Amino acid sequence: MAILDYVKEAVRKRNPNDTEFLQATDEVLMSLEKVAEKHPEYVENGIFDRIIEPERQIMFRVPWVDDHGKVQVNRGYRVEFNSAIGPYKGGLRFHPSVNLSIIKFLGFEQCFKNSLTGLPMGGGKGGSDFDPKGKSDGEIMRFCQSFMTELYRHIGPNTDVPAGDIGVGGREIGYLYGQYKRIRNEFTGVLTGKGLNWGGSLARKEATGYGLCYFTEAMLNDKGNSFKGKKVVISGSGNVAIYAAEKATQLGATVIAMSDSNGYIVDNEGIDLDLVKEIKEVKRGRIKEYVDTRTSAVYTEGCKNIWNTPCDIALPCATQNELDEASAKTLVGNGVIAVCEGANMPCTPEAIEIFQSNHVLYAPGKASNAGGVATSGLEMSQNSLRMSWTFEEVDQKLKTIMENIYHTIAKTAKAYDMEDDFMAGANIAGFEKIAVAMMEQGIV
Ligand code: NDP
Ligand code: 2IT
């Protein structure tokens, strides 16, 4: 019987139907078994029992009126998970699949991720089952205003600082910020990912994708390898995917495939990223439009089979559980050397097991995609200073943070006799800082 089995049981009992949340807590608790052995005081002080229970969970009605004058109702969420090391911090996701389990899993992961950045940020996450696809700008604005009309009372620059995630980018952050400012009559750094001339940080847009590649490059370099000359497959074609593709290309790799929820494109000559940006960022179109312009590319309906494309490096950058056991086996069969998560929890537990048992370098999202929230932390610093740093300054800080994360988790894994198990390294290193803070702050 493992020491932390009682915590797993407790979390199951309290959240019986929350599949994604249980998947995330199981993985972390498994990694923390050796920490519990080494630190009985954490068990005695209920650190594990407390860390798996959010400090606060908010659910609310979001009514809005569509372009036809019809009343629509969505559900809004904010889960404030842990504030031991700083104000709650984490994104907002607008996607029809959003439910409490998904927000809780994201909020839980966020605590460890934020801890790994070395910046003073606690963990939280929020969102709505609102589907931004096919909505007019006016509908998006009215939805965001209604969402903020409730959310504003729970957040603040020293309390809880939301940002973007799936379906929430610069446009949505703008509408949310405008409404917050109107209600509170305060111009503060309450959201990150803001526009560049009203408090946003240079390089925040690029940060998650660039950070993913800085992390991956540090890991590859440590193993005597690099992006140079490698074939890379990236799922998704949103914020994270686009800037991961940009940086991987700058580092000498060739990105040959990208996707959206409908299907994927393979372009063996290397993805034309300007075209992808035009389709996805400007026109908000579908990835299949790519083949209308690029005759070298092939489009396949259905997004899952993107992993059948032979590659050296796979960067899943779309959504949770998008890469399963069968896909992992195919990637391994095709000789993949590294899989680094840009999305949150994109690999299923079975897929991770396949990678690790085949000595594929596997990096969990809470480490490899931490560049987005790290740069959000840098945006908060700039807001507090009432200054803005240059792109180069922010980018350099981001690079240093990602390299530090790699070395911290590699060192931690080694210290616990689990060399190259970056999942265990990330979970333990992220946990330790929070646990010490919780111990010092008493039973709260
Ligand atoms: P975007 O909304 O910009 O893009 C999401 C991309 O993933 C789109 O291509 C979308 O396709 C695809 N996708 C979304 N849901 C699904 C689904 N259910 N099945 C298949 N494809 C899907 O989001 P981001 O790029 O910001 O986020 C991508 C991932 O990265 C998420 O897991 C997010 O949590 C994570 N992340 C984001 C950070 C950030 O700073 N933005 C930071 C750290 C992690 P379609 O357009 O067809 O919906
Ligand atoms: O999952 C994530 O780390 C994000 N969506 C970014 C959160 C943030 O606060 O920048």
pLDDT attached to residue 45: 98
Gap between the Cα atoms of 126 and 164, Å rounded: 10
Q: What is the DSSP letter of 279?
A: I
pLDDT attached to residue 401: 99
- Helix (H) or strand (E) holding 62, with range, is strand 56-65
Please tell me whether residues 36 and 179 are part of one structural domain: yes
pLDDT attached to residue 402: 99
Please tell me whether residues 145 and 231 are part of one structural domain: no
Query: Is the entire prediction scored with pTM above 0.85?
Result: yes
- Section 246-269 average pLDDT: 98
End of a domain among 359, 391, 413? Answer: 359
Per-residue pLDDT band at 337 (split at 50, 70, 90):
very high
The candidate with the shortest Cα–Cα distance to 163, out of 115, 199, 215, is 199
Gap between the Cα atoms of 140 and 176, Å rounded: 10
pLDDT tens digit string along 96-109? 999 999 999 999 99
Mutational test site, ligand 1, from 23, 171, 239, max ligand atoms within 8 Å of CB = 239
Do 351 and 325 touch, CB atoms closer than 8 A? yes
Please tell me whether residues 153 and 27 are part of one structural domain: yes
Please tell me whether residues 131 and 226 are part of one structural domain: no
Q: How far is CA 245 from the centre of its chain?
A: 16
Average model confidence (pLDDT) across the chain = 98
Mutational test site, ligand 1, from 240, 262, 348, max ligand atoms within 8 Å of CB = 240
Which ligand 2 atom sits nearest the alpha carbon of residue 90?
9
Please tell me whether residues 10 and 133 are part of one structural domain: yes
pLDDT tens digit string along 128-149? 999 999 999 999 999 999 999 9
Percent of the residues in the chain that have a pLDDT greater than 70, as a whole number: 100
Confirm whether 196 is domain-assigned. no
425 lines ligand 2 (CB under 6 A): no
Please tell me whether residues 231 and 174 are part of one structural domain: no
Domain harbouring 310, CATH code: 3.40.50.720
pLDDT attached to residue 1: 84
How many structural domains compose the chain? 2
Cα 395 to ligand 2 centroid, rounded to whole Å: 17
The candidate with the shortest Cα–Cα distance to 121, out of 297, 366, 428, is 366
Q: How far is CA 300 from the centre of its chain?
A: 26
Confirm whether 397 is domain-assigned. no
Please tell me whether residues 39 and 176 are part of one structural domain: yes
Residue 433 annotated to the active site = no
pLDDT tens digit string along 193-224? 999 999 999 999 999 999 999 999 999 999 99
Gap between the Cα atoms of 423 and 179, Å rounded: 39
pLDDT attached to residue 234: 99
Cα 127 to ligand 1 centroid, rounded to whole Å: 13
Ligand nearest to the CA of 201: 2
Confirm whether 103 is domain-assigned. yes
- Section 415-425 average pLDDT: 98
pLDDT attached to residue 345: 98
Confirm whether 315 is domain-assigned. yes
Burial class (CB in 10 A: 0-12, 13-18, 19+), 219: buried
Which residue's alpha carbon is at the smallest distance from atom 18 of ligand 1?
319
Q: Who contacts 129 (Cβ-Cβ below 8 Å, separation ≥6)?
A: 74, 75, 95, 96, 97, 98, 99
Gap between the Cα atoms of 215 and 209, Å rounded: 10
The candidate with the shortest Cα–Cα distance to 62, out of 146, 183, 151, is 146
Please tell me whether residues 171 and 268 are part of one structural domain: no
- Section 293-313 average pLDDT: 97
Confirm whether 418 is domain-assigned. no
- Section 243-268 average pLDDT: 98
Q: Domain span at residue 250?
A: 205-359
Other beta carbons within 10 angstroms of residue 5's beta carbon come to 11
Please tell me whether residues 144 and 253 are part of one structural domain: no
- Helix (H) or strand (E) holding 73, with range, is strand 71-82
End of a domain among 359, 380, 403? Answer: 359
Ligand nearest to the CA of 260: 1
- Section 168-191 average pLDDT: 98
308: pLDDT strictly greater than 90: yes
Q: Which two tokens stand for residue 417?
A: 């006799």
Please tell me whether residues 325 and 275 are part of one structural domain: yes
Which residue's alpha carbon is at the smallest distance from atom 10 of ligand 2?
373
Number of residues written out for the chain: 444
Confirm whether 413 is domain-assigned. no
Confirm whether 222 is domain-assigned. yes
Confirm whether 387 is domain-assigned. no
Domain harbouring 172, CATH code: 3.40.50.10860
89: pLDDT strictly greater than 90: yes
